Amino acid sequence: MTALRVVFAGTPAFAVSPLKALQGHHEIVGVLTQPDRPAGRGRELRASPVKEVALAAGLPLLQPRTLRNDPAAIDALAAWQPDIMVVVAYGLILPPAVLDLPRLGCLNIHASLLPRWRGAAPIQRAILAGDAQSGVTIMQMDAGLDTGAMLLREAIPIGAETTAGELHDELAILGARLIVDALDDCASGRARPQPQPAEGATYAAKLDKSEAQIDWTQPAAQIDRQIRAFNPWPVAETRAGGEPLKLLRSRLPGASRPPADAPAGTVLGLQGDALEVACGDGQRLQVLTLQRAGRRPVGARDYFNAAGGNAAGGGSPQVWG
């Protein structure tokens, strides 16, 4: 099989595994990633995870601020003479001049089972919706939003306690394997793109920090999905004793737990390794990991003991909200 000349376009950690996987199978002739961004308390410029990998591997690198109306960036890309481009969470729109440049087109690794969850936040939206499974789709890019024909598609289950961060890591590994298979198929002429189904399309809107605020009058299952979907960002948050409290991990109790005879948001006490909280319709939620402002994350029992054994710091049960 002939190795393809590949341009890789990606920015965040999700793109690192595919980039590393492709280096052992095809020729990476260049890497596109977004410009360095201010980060941390000092707001110092920080390279993207993809840039760090590219520099360590000695790969040619471009960091254009835009690919629209930038002839110099297009000329530099054309000089790499790519057979194909692989795009993974790059973050910039590819204009027609870029989409049409590689002779085999541009392939995208999308972290959902298309056409479900087209758009910016497919991992989090799948958990928020209570989907039983997620997956990766390798698709040909076109002018639409994640509407191109599919080359490969593989599902994985979403566990009852899976967080967005954990699902992200699983899908990055799956995407790395599938993109290698897809490029091998393209190189050998075996690729058979299939149009996406006309039905079942949904849109995964970009996350907003306001979505992370917990409303304890909602059902426990919905709040549990909210906590898991927003870990590691923006992290679900409530207020305890007038102070912000981040909730990082949770689970639903077994069917044997009785309904909570208390107002929504009432901290009911410890149950094993979990702190139980009353939710809407009398349901219970078990919170496993919490983080007070300026503190490190701790388990429910440590939080409970630090609050004097009642999670309130006083004599009566605490009500979060």
SS3 letters for 35-70?
Answer: CCEEECCCCEEECCHHHHHHHHHCCCEECCCCCCCC
Domain endpoint, select from 158, 179, 204: 204
Pair 185, 287 in one domain:
no
> What's the DSSP call for residue 149?
P
Structural domain contains residue 314: no
Pair 225, 278 in one domain:
yes
Pair 196, 296 in one domain:
no
Average pLDDT, the chain: 94
What is the rounded distance in angstroms from the CA atom of residue 315 to the CA atom of residue 139?
58
Pair 75, 158 in one domain:
yes
pLDDT score at 313: 45
Average pLDDT over residues 248-268: 89
Flag the least confident range among 198-202, 253-257, 280-284.
253-257
Average pLDDT over residues 276-289: 94
Domain endpoint, select from 170, 185, 204: 204
- The packing angle between helices 16-23 and 49-57, to 10°, is 20
For tokens 């149009």, what's the residue? 195
Give pLDDT tens digits for 51-64: 999 999 999 999 99
Check: CB of residue 109 under 8 Å from CB of residue 64: no
Pair 135, 269 in one domain:
no
Check: CB of residue 278 under 8 Å from CB of residue 260: yes
Check: CB of residue 114 under 8 Å from CB of residue 183: no
Q: Is the pLDDT of residue 40 over 90?
A: no
Number of domain units in the chain:
2
pLDDT score at 309: 60
Pair 129, 272 in one domain:
no
Give pLDDT tens digits for 206-242: 999 999 999 999 999 999 999 999 999 999 999 998 8
What is the share, in percent, of the chain residues with pLDDT greater than 70? Answer: 97
Side chain identity, residue 114:
L
Q: Is the pLDDT of residue 178 over 70?
A: yes
Model confidence band, residue 25 (pLDDT cutoffs 50, 70, 90): very high
pLDDT score at 315: 58
Pair 36, 106 in one domain:
yes
Q: Which of 116, 139, 138, 146 is nearest to 128 (CA)?
A: 116
Q: Is the pLDDT of residue 310 over 80?
A: no
Average pLDDT over residues 261-271: 93
What is the rounded distance in angstroms from the CA atom of residue 255 to the CA atom of residue 158?
20
Pair 249, 197 in one domain:
no
Structural domain contains residue 80: yes
Pair 234, 181 in one domain:
no
Structural domain contains residue 315: no
Residue 50's domain comprises: 5-204
Structural domain contains residue 320: no
Give pLDDT tens digits for 239-249: 998 899 999 99
What is the rounded distance in angstroms from the CA atom of residue 82 to the CA atom of residue 278?
57
Pair 133, 9 in one domain:
yes
Pair 195, 46 in one domain:
yes
Structural domain contains residue 135: yes
Q: Which two tokens stand for residue 221?
A: 């299952």
pLDDT score at 280: 93
Structural domain contains residue 168: yes
Give one DSSP letter per residue of 114-138, joined into a string. Answer: TTTTEES-HHHHHHHTT-SEEEEEE
Model confidence band, residue 1 (pLDDT cutoffs 50, 70, 90): low
Q: Is the pLDDT of residue 34 over 90?
A: yes
Check: CB of residue 1 under 8 Å from CB of residue 183: no
pLDDT score at 43: 80
Pair 55, 166 in one domain:
yes
Give pLDDT tens digits for 94-151: 999 999 999 999 999 999 999 999 999 999 999 999 999 999 999 999 999 999 999 9
Domain endpoint, select from 189, 204, 219: 204
Structural domain contains residue 225: yes
Structural domain contains residue 44: yes
Q: Where are the alpha helices (DSSP H) in the chain?
A: 16-23, 49-57, 71-79, 96-99, 122-128, 164-188, 220-229, 300-306
CATH number at residue 251: 3.10.25.10
Phi first, then psi, for residue 248 (nearest 5°) are: -105, -30
Q: Which of 65, 109, 67, 64 is nearest to 86 (CA)?
A: 109
Exposed e or buried b for every residue in 256-274, given b needs 16+ CB within 10 A? Answer: eeeebebebbbbbebeeeb
Q: Is the pLDDT of residue 74 over 50?
A: yes
pLDDT score at 260: 80
CATH number at residue 109: 3.40.50.170
Q: Is the pLDDT of residue 312 over 60?
A: no
